[in-house]
Amino acid sequence: MIVWLTLLLLAAFSLRAAEPFRGADVPWITYEAEDMGGTGKKLGPRYDPGLIETEASGQRCVALAAPGQYVEFTARESANAVVLRYSLPDAENGGGIDSSVDLYQNGSLLAKLPLTSRYSYLYGTYPFSNRPKDGHPRNFFDEVRLQGLAIARNDVLRLQQDTTNVDDFCVIDFVDLENAARAADKFLCGHRPPLCGGR
């Protein structure tokens, strides 16, 4: 009986050790804002409908609420593309606003990332509206992408609130860094997907 129990336990541990990694293999590295250094205000974790941090990954994010506030991190691998997930406030009567955030690489300005909340924010209940007076805001976040960069491993990247920005805040959820293929490389068969099998 003891032998059978021992064999059963060994089999169970072996099967557990052989479990595959859960989740998809992705070609980018995600850097969560709340894990970065900087001077921004960390929000969350908190769950409550109508809160920005509720819709953030892990219900945590960082608000850059004053000129000069920033978050920064060190690139773990080289990359040529960046994706920033962010949130800006809506216009007082809906319709969104436009703004920007500065991206620095090793202390030098690399780009001014254009931000907008024109495609965010829904209010009220289904079928929803774009009127802030209807309350119950949702869909706070949007993303901006930039390619053609030359980011090396161990480069320090900083996202800083533009000193000329008069908006109330810019919330950073995360940054993805990736070595993205050129658009032409994605369609080597001469056809657009689905004729290429989606590649």
* 138: containing domain: 39-63+118-155
Instruction: Check residue 154 and give its pLDDT.
Output: 98
**Structural domain contains residue 173:** no
At 195, the pLDDT band (50, 70, 90 cuts) reads: very low
Contact 94, 167 (CB under 8 A): no
Contact 112, 102 (CB under 8 A): yes
- Neighbouring C-beta atoms of residue 71, cutoff 10 Å: 27
**Structural domain contains residue 171:** no
**Structural domain contains residue 113:** no
Distance CA 102, CA 145 (A): 13
Whether the predicted pLDDT of 189 surpasses 70 = no
Tokens linked to 84: 């920033």
Distance CA 28, CA 176 (A): 6
Contact 15, 156 (CB under 8 A): no
Range from 16-25, 34-43, 179-188 that averages highest in pLDDT: 34-43
Q: How many angstroms separate the first and last alpha carbons of the chain?
A: 55
Within 8 A by CB and 6+ apart from 38, the residues are: 62, 69, 70, 71, 72, 158
**Structural domain contains residue 147:** yes
- Using DSSP's 3-state secondary structure scheme, residue 33 falls into helix
**Structural domain contains residue 141:** yes
Whether the predicted pLDDT of 18 surpasses 90 = no
**Structural domain contains residue 146:** yes
Type of residue at 172: I
pLDDT in tens, 103-156: 999 999 999 999 999 999 999 999 999 999 999 999 999 999 999 999 999 999
| Mean pLDDT score of the chain | 86
For residues 178 and 186, which has the higher predicted lDDT (pLDDT)? 178
Instruction: Check residue 182 and give its pLDDT.
Output: 77
**Structural domain contains residue 135:** yes
Average pLDDT on 86-103 reads 95
Whether the predicted pLDDT of 94 surpasses 90 = yes
**Structural domain contains residue 166:** no
Tokens linked to 124: 């009220």
At 12, the pLDDT band (50, 70, 90 cuts) reads: low
Q: What beta strand segments (E) does 16-116 contain?
A: 28-32, 37-38, 41-43, 61-64, 70-74, 79-87, 98-105, 108-116
Instruction: Check residue 192 and give its pLDDT.
Output: 44
pLDDT in tens, 21-65: 567 888 999 999 999 999 999 999 999 989 999 999 999 999 999
Q: Into how many domains does the chain fold?
A: 1
Contact 77, 94 (CB under 8 A): no
Instruction: Check residue 59 and give its pLDDT.
Output: 97
